[in-house]
Chain A
Amino acid sequence: MSFEFRAIYWREMVKYFRYKSMLITSMVQPVMWLAFFGLAMSDSFDKLTSFVPNEPGVPVVAYISYMGAGIIAMDVLFSSLFGGTTLMFDKKFSLLRETLASPVPRTHIILGIGLSAVTKALFQTFIIIGFGKLVGMEFFKGYTLVETLISMVGIMLLVAIFTLGFLFLSGSIAITVENPEGMQSILTLVSMPIFFVSNALYPIDGFPTFLKVLSMFNPLTLLAGGIRYFALGTNFSVMGNHYIYTTVDIVVAFLGLIFFALVMLSAAMWRFNKVDI
């Protein structure tokens, strides 16, 4: 067993903490989403849906708590999608040469960068949950300490697998394209449908059927749903929609994300093995 990926991870983290602007913006951005978009939308949504009768006996969840899970998912999506860009610059400025000429297996390069992205994603997750609490996001309501911890671990696992998947995707693009503009436009193109055809910000129950079907296969839907399962419970209603998450749902979410990450890993490996010095 070799551990060279730790070297790659180390390098990424050194640079992450060196550049305070990057560090701070990556922390502030999710907070701003929650503070501005979240609070604004949740007030209007709650007002609009206040007349919809809730089913008796089902706990009602405020929109901001529902959306909080989506904000985590969205934030993690964007940071991991753009996380691979580092590889493009490494290739462009021939920094990759040193590593490619070393005995480090190519899988380790992508794995090391993937794990650094996971670390960053987890930081952001904690920040959103922490700040969300301050602005009225009710995660883990009525949970015991043990239940809260288990739920946190569940969320962290989901976030980690999801991040790896999208980082592998982003890495494959980064290693293939030649310039930052190309990278940027591909990422924007990829991120738009993933973001909107999902349940991150709104329930998918009102979607036209084909979008609904599409969104069920969307990793972002799986992640947001999974976070809600752990943070809001298995049975709640929001904006008049009654949600029941079952064990099958969470297993499907995990398996779906693992499948996605593995497919993306093989895509990344395929692209990586084609890289010439």
Chain B
Amino acid sequence: MTGNVIEVNNLEHSYGSIKAVDNISFTVKQGEIFSFLGPNGAGKSTVINILTTLRKLQKGEARVNGYDVAKEPNSVRRSIGIVFQMLCLDHEMTVSENLEYHGRIYSMKKKERSKRIEELLKLTDLESKKDTLGKDLSGGMKRRLELARGLMTKPAVLFLDEPTIGFDIQTRMRMWEYLREIKREGTTIFLTTHYMEEADQLSDRISIIDHGKIIVTGTSNELKNKLGKDLIYLETSDNRAAAEILRSLVSVKNVTEDTKSLRIMIGEDVTHVLPQIMDKIRRGGIEIIIVNIKKPSMDDVFVHYTGHELREGNGNGNGNEKQQGIETAVVSE
């Protein structure tokens, strides 16, 4: 193996005439957390379903842990753990029975099973809940149990499809802690998310995916740095005219307009550039209403690369993913 746990080349997938995944290639390195960031319907779940052998590969090539997804699905299945987008735990069984069942379907030996269950209950802080029925757990605990279950077989890579969808921020942050801990123990993690913060906080590398294509890939810092050092947010009496003036300035890297405001990317230290900018605009007879300076965030990165904001329903892929997101009730710990 080349140090890449996942290798995908020219992957394509269509549902009827709709192309959900359009010629995607990427690699995930041993031991890293890799994120697919994109709106609902961007094709994230389709990619994860192909890589986990739940969907037949239509076109292209994909290898997981060195095994060909199309030709060696069972070897792939033995190499991975999955946390599905929708909660899928057996509510009629206890926490440890859920894990026990998972160990059994993967033919783990009895001794190995009980040792692993103990370790995982500890890792996910569910020791005191081990005899609690699935239905009596809180939303966050259920997710942790699914996390434990995904790790039961010590997989080479753990797939998480929107792991914190519908959770409140505290629960989400706790979940991130657990994921970091799992990474520290050496497990490679591939996750899809439409939460900027999640991708930003957790990932070693991020691919922004939109309309079935990877738009850009890099570390969080790389992506942000491409937007320049600082961002200025402006609201003026005439945004269009202001944008014209700003584009002629050398220190301004890029200007994006939307209906209300301007986003200005700056290549240099903003403290020197700002007075100059404001001066030019005023001299053009335009009134400045609001000024705001900030470091580029993942939101800005996203807008920059996709040309639109990341909101529910921005994608045009299969409506299925969107629906599932809505179905998942908001749960908290």
Which residues from chain A sit less than 8 Å from chain B, CB to CB? 2-4, 6-8, 10-11, 14-15, 18-19, 93-95, 97-104, 277
The reply to whether B88 and A14 form a contact with Cβ atoms under 8 Å apart is no
User: B58 to chain A: which residues have CB within 8 Å?
Assistant: none
User: B106 to chain A: which residues have CB within 8 Å?
Assistant: 102-103
User: A10 to chain B: which residues have CB within 8 Å?
Assistant: 101, 104
Given contacts A11-B90, A103-B78, contact A97 B105 (CB under 8 A): no
The reply to whether A7 and B105 form a contact with Cβ atoms under 8 Å apart is yes
The reply to whether B88 and A6 form a contact with Cβ atoms under 8 Å apart is no
- Of the 9-residue stretches B49-57, B166-174, B183-191, B258-266, which lies at the interface with chain A? B49-57
Question: Can you list 18 A-B pairs with a CB-CB distance of less than 8 A?
Answer: A4-B105, A4-B107, A6-B104, A11-B93, A11-B97, A18-B93, A93-B88, A95-B90, A98-B84, A98-B149, A99-B105, A101-B52, A101-B77, A102-B77, A102-B105, A102-B106, A277-B54, A277-B55
The reply to whether A15 and B92 form a contact with Cβ atoms under 8 Å apart is yes
The interface size bin for chain B is 20 to 34
CA distance A232 to B293 in the complex (A): 93
CA distance A103 to B90 in the complex (A): 19
The reply to whether B93 and A15 form a contact with Cβ atoms under 8 Å apart is yes
The reply to whether A103 and B74 form a contact with Cβ atoms under 8 Å apart is yes
CA distance A277 to B97 in the complex (A): 23
Complex: chain A residue closest to B82, CB-CB = A101
Complex: chain B residue closest to A9, CB-CB = B104
CA distance A8 to B100 in the complex (A): 11
CA distance A19 to B135 in the complex (A): 14
The reply to whether B92 and A18 form a contact with Cβ atoms under 8 Å apart is yes
User: A104 to chain B: which residues have CB within 8 Å?
Assistant: 105
User: B107 to chain A: which residues have CB within 8 Å?
Assistant: 2-4, 103
User: A2 to chain B: which residues have CB within 8 Å?
Assistant: 107
Which residues from chain B sit less than 8 Å from chain A, CB to CB? 49, 52-55, 74, 77-78, 82, 84, 86, 88-93, 97, 101-102, 104-107, 149
Given contacts A100-B54, A101-B77, contact A7 B82 (CB under 8 A): no
CA distance A18 to B89 in the complex (A): 17
- What is the minimal beta-carbon distance from A256 to any residue of chain B, in angstroms? 34
Beyond the given A94-B84, A102-B106, could you list 17 further A-B residue pairs with CB under 8 A, ordered by the A residue number? Answer: A3-B107, A4-B104, A7-B101, A11-B90, A11-B93, A18-B92, A95-B88, A97-B54, A98-B102, A98-B149, A99-B105, A100-B54, A101-B52, A102-B77, A102-B102, A104-B105, A277-B55
CA distance A19 to B149 in the complex (A): 24
The reply to whether A98 and B88 form a contact with Cβ atoms under 8 Å apart is yes
Complex: chain B residue closest to A8, CB-CB = B105
Complex: chain A residue closest to B108, CB-CB = A7
The reply to whether A11 and B101 form a contact with Cβ atoms under 8 Å apart is yes
- Minimum-distance CB pairs A-B, first 6: A7-B104, A94-B88, A7-B105, A102-B105, A103-B77, A277-B54
> Which of A4, A93, A101, A277 has the most chain B CB within a 10 Å cutoff?
A101
User: A277 to chain B: which residues have CB within 8 Å?
Assistant: 49, 54-55
Complex: chain B residue closest to A7, CB-CB = B104
- What is the minimal beta-carbon distance from A31 to any residue of chain B, in angstroms? 26
User: B49 to chain A: which residues have CB within 8 Å?
Assistant: 277
User: B52 to chain A: which residues have CB within 8 Å?
Assistant: 101
The reply to whether A101 and B90 form a contact with Cβ atoms under 8 Å apart is no
CA distance A15 to B149 in the complex (A): 19
User: A100 to chain B: which residues have CB within 8 Å?
Assistant: 54
- What is the minimal beta-carbon distance from A102 to any residue of chain B, in angstroms? 5
Given contacts A98-B88, A100-B54, contact A14 B93 (CB under 8 A): yes
> Which of A2, A8, A14 has the most chain B CB within a 10 Å cutoff?
A14
Complex: chain A residue closest to B56, CB-CB = A276
> Which of B77, B104, B106 has the most chain A CB within a 10 Å cutoff?
B104
- What is the minimal beta-carbon distance from A21 to any residue of chain B, in angstroms? 12
Partner of B84, one of A6, A8, A19, A97: A97
- What is the minimal beta-carbon distance from B137 to any residue of chain A, in angstroms? 15
- What is the minimal beta-carbon distance from A275 to any residue of chain B, in angstroms? 11
User: B90 to chain A: which residues have CB within 8 Å?
Assistant: 11, 95
CA distance A98 to B89 in the complex (A): 9
User: A99 to chain B: which residues have CB within 8 Å?
Assistant: 105
User: B97 to chain A: which residues have CB within 8 Å?
Assistant: 11, 14
CA distance A6 to B110 in the complex (A): 13
User: A3 to chain B: which residues have CB within 8 Å?
Assistant: 107
Complex: chain A residue closest to B89, CB-CB = A95
Partner of A97, one of B55, B88, B92: B88
User: A6 to chain B: which residues have CB within 8 Å?
Assistant: 104
User: B92 to chain A: which residues have CB within 8 Å?
Assistant: 15, 18-19
Complex: chain A residue closest to B73, CB-CB = A103
CA distance A2 to B74 in the complex (A): 13
User: A18 to chain B: which residues have CB within 8 Å?
Assistant: 92-93
User: B82 to chain A: which residues have CB within 8 Å?
Assistant: 101
CA distance A104 to B53 in the complex (A): 13
The reply to whether A94 and B77 form a contact with Cβ atoms under 8 Å apart is no
Complex: chain B residue closest to A90, CB-CB = B90
CA distance A97 to B107 in the complex (A): 17
User: B89 to chain A: which residues have CB within 8 Å?
Assistant: 95
- What is the minimal beta-carbon distance from A97 to any residue of chain B, in angstroms? 5
CA distance A62 to B91 in the complex (A): 48
CA distance A18 to B54 in the complex (A): 31
User: B84 to chain A: which residues have CB within 8 Å?
Assistant: 94, 97-98
CA distance A100 to B101 in the complex (A): 13
CA distance A10 to B108 in the complex (A): 14
